[in-house]
A and B are shown apart, each in its own frame.
Chain A
Amino acid sequence: MARFIIRRLLVAIPVLFGLSVILFLFLRLLPGGGPAEAILGQHATPQLVAQISATEGFDKPLYEQYLTYIGRLLHGDMGSSFIDGRQVADTFLIRFPGTLELTMGAMVFAVGLGIPLGRLAARHPNSWIDAVVTVISLFGISIPVFVLGYTLAFVFGVQLHWLPTFGQIDPRLDVDPVTHFAIIDAMLAGHWYVIDAVSHLILPSIALGSIPLAVFTRITRASVIDVSNEDYVRTARAKGLTDRRVNDRHIMRNAWLPLTTVIGLETGALLAGAVLTETVFSWNGVGSWVVTSIQNHDFIVVQSLVLIFAVIFMTVNLIVDVGYAFLNPRIRYS
């Protein structure tokens, strides 16, 4: 197992290095001048562009800029934003809890609803129940996240006034951003502010969780039907075990194996990809930060974030692979 983990970590090095080179070149070869022009916008004059390029090092050859960047990166310095001068790592630590909170909300929604729906459909294959569940999962996977987000906000926020449509917590509440997890900070602040934080989480979690919900429902259904047809399940039933016991001990325990993989992959993808949901719900996370950084041509931020996303995705994958071995003793890594 240790050798497997070390090998996976070693493989990650050239992947991240290659990604850093591609990102660096791609972002700088985009049309529209350099970051100095982006910073100055319509105020850009040749003199000001030259001044900022000189002080920020934009006028140096690309390889020199890259070496400076990678040198800093190897020392744990992900660089600073061209726009506000803040260290990427500092802002990441402020914004990532928001993305993590949203991802967890989406996964609670998707797992909490997707697996029971999948089990329900599997218990009644080819029935009207199965058809309804299939339609729900197709709807979830087909509808664009931003369309669902705006629709949810319109129905539950604008029309019904049940739930807030933006942000992580009512900004008027006196909640200090101690951990930057809105729910935890709200709990620390007391006054039942946590209810406000949870209410802010509901709509974006549903929007972000709609695709994983559909995936989990489909995988659960297929997996449960597969396992249900295995000999050992038939044997268990023949031995006179109750339905519940057969389901819990024999079917779901084995059906969890493919689900675990998919849940892990979806979690990694959501952590790195809540861009649209965060924008629609004005969520202070990493996804909305990527959008504004791309708009501002804030290259250092964009390339550092993409690298971070890659590391997160690879780490989650590794955890899933390792966890798989624990769940399924038949798997051995060498």
Chain B
Amino acid sequence: MIVALDGDMVFADPSLVSDGNSLYVAAQVVQNLVQLQPGTISTVIPVLAAALPTVSTDGLTYTFKLRTGVKFHDGTDFNADAVVYNYTRWQGYGKGDLQDNAYYYGAVFGGFGTSSNIASVKASDASTVVFTLKTPQSNFLLASTLAVFGIQSPTALKAASADTTPLKDNKYAEGLLPQGQDMVGTGPFMFKEWVVGDHITLVKNPSYWDTANAAHLDQITFKGMGDSTAKLQALQSGGVDLAFSISPLDVKTAQSSGLAIIDRGASCNQLNLDLNQSVGGQPTIYANKSVRTAVAEAVNKSSYVDAFYSGLGKVPTGFMPPATLGFKAEALPAFDATKAKADLTAAGLTADQLKIDLNYPSNVVRPYMPDPKGIATAIAQDLQAAGFTVTLKTEDWHGGYVSDATGGKFSMYLFGWTCDWAGADNFLYTAWFGYQDGKPNLQFGWKNDAANALMLKALQEPTVDAANADWGQVQDALATDMPAVPIVNSTPPGSMTSKVHGFVGASNGIEYFNTVWLTQ
């Protein structure tokens, strides 16, 4: 089977990557204590753990009972010592190449070494691991499903000196070692080879521990293909069996060619129209709540969904995708051009103040933003109808847009987020509204100390339920203040030929191939 990815892997050691291509491959080979139920984005199931962990009432201790009889691809045993070795290894990553690349460990646990929120990881016996945290961490379980926390064979890691820096001299990370010595996990597929810039080959693990879910395919080849037209043609010609992503603009062409569009279920992304209340220390017109409300009422979101998402998008009902853990539906302003005009009039802006810029990125297609210019143009027309005079402005996504948006240089702009993990903290705090260095995030200039305190409290709640209650209040505050207008939740389109069966899609980019088989 040949699977087209959007690009090449970066490293063969999943603990050192944060890109989707590397993690997509690694997820077939390396397994975690807990993972997501295939096809879902927030349902956690035990994998190398025999069951979900028991958690102490103070939320500081997580005890995992492990499966027994599981072996790594190099034939060594998976056990509690292996888990301890991996977590200790990541926590001990030194400054420089290792820490710079191990983004997710730092992001989830607050740093490395003594800065990490993990106080200790201990094996109480061969099949029991106890994690002790310094402070409760409500996202601990969900974030633990990230493929970067896949358990690799300590024997293979030690033999390959997998912590060698600089990474150009690290044969394990570079994927240069032969089968059984590189990317050594416990999954249904084993790493065979990586031809840099061209393809990665995985082969079936004949001794997979979970015989009921062993792979049907003998081999999968992942081929990096950045060009969307080339990907579509490769699917149409039968050269590629499945493409992780295709352009939303190609969905109809793919369907008319007899290709199937992957059902990715619930969305794990959101596009917003961000309204920055303070640019360069000066308040903008969006500091006026009536203006923000008018904007929210002026935009006809369902028309954008119909026009640009080929049936793969929905109008948001809150400030993150509905399947996200901790989601709370809010009564967001509905499209009402008349009310928008009235609210804008009530805001009492001068003609000069009604002249606004709407920024959108160029030279990029994001899963939540398939046609940035088209969407921005449609929004601009709706805003004009409400009484604004809109000037569209654009910058290259890679050439200034992201840094200008996050640096607070735009007042109104399109921006979105695809989940790292489908938790409220990932959308609301990490991506968007959390204070930075004790000050409102420059992206929004949204000052709400109570909401920020609630977010910090939610992060440290001992239980997920307690955290979700806090996140619910944060979402209420957002709906009241409207620092951004949610535009769409989409599922990024992928496609496959009619030969492919048993594939279960998920919108967070974590999909497994052990259930897949091909017909002629």
Residues of A in contact with B (beta carbons under 8 Å apart) = 30-33, 37-46, 48, 51-52, 55-56, 80, 83-87, 90-91, 94-95, 150, 153-154, 157-158, 161, 164-168, 171-172, 177, 279-282, 284, 288-289, 291-292, 295-297
Contact = CB atoms under 8 A, between A and B. Distances in A.
Contacts of B399: 30-32
Contacts of A56: 100
B166 A171 contact: no
Contacts of A39: 100
A161 B403 contact: no
Nearest to A39: B100
11 contacts: A32-B395, A32-B399, A32-B402, A33-B402, A42-B417, A56-B100, A91-B196, A150-B233, A164-B237, A171-B201, A284-B198
B225 A166 contact: yes
B197 A32 contact: no
Nearest to B99: A51
Given A46-B436, A281-B230, A33 B168 contact: no
Interface in B82-123: 95-97, 99-100, 103, 106-107
B182 to A, nearest CB: 15
A279 B406 CA distance: 31
A154 B402 CA distance: 36
Interface of B: 2, 7-8, 10-11, 18, 95-97, 99-100, 103, 106-107, 166-168, 173-174, 195-199, 201, 219, 221, 223-227, 229-230, 233-234, 236-240, 395-396, 398-403, 406, 417, 431, 436-437
B233 A154 contact: yes
A40 B103 contact: yes
Most buried by B among A32, A55, A161: A32
Given A157-B239, A161-B238, A165-B230, A85 B97 contact: yes
A167 B103 contact: no
B167 A42 contact: no
Nearest to B415: A42
B455 to A, nearest CB: 16
Given A166-B225, A171-B221, A279 B402 contact: no
A44 B406 contact: yes
Nearest to B238: A161
Given A91-B196, A282-B224, A288-B197, A41 B402 contact: yes
B107 A43 contact: yes
A185 B398 CA distance: 37
B1 to A, nearest CB: 8
B237 A157 contact: yes
B168 A297 contact: no
Contacts of B240: 166
B396 A32 contact: yes
Nearest to A150: B229
A58 B350 CA distance: 45
A69 to B, nearest CB: 16
Interface centre among B173, B234, B396 (most CB of A within 10 A): B234
Given A166-B223, A167-B198, A297 B398 contact: yes
A42 B398 contact: no
B398 A32 contact: yes
Contacts of A42: 402, 406, 417, 431
A55 B96 contact: yes
Q: Which 3 A-B pairs have the closest CB atoms?
A: A32-B400, A32-B399, A31-B400
A42 B236 CA distance: 33
Given A32-B400, A157-B237, A282-B234, 17 more contacts: A33-B400, A33-B403, A39-B100, A41-B402, A42-B402, A44-B403, A55-B95, A83-B10, A84-B10, A153-B233, A164-B239, A165-B237, A166-B239, A177-B198, A281-B230, A291-B226, A292-B8
Contact of B233 (A51, A83, A157): A157
Contact of B230 (A48, A95, A279, A292): A279
B237 A161 contact: yes
A282 B107 contact: no
A241 B395 CA distance: 68
A154 B223 CA distance: 20
B100 A282 contact: no
A38 B400 CA distance: 10
A282 B227 contact: yes
A104 B23 CA distance: 36
A112 B97 CA distance: 50
B170 to A, nearest CB: 8
Nearest to B235: A158
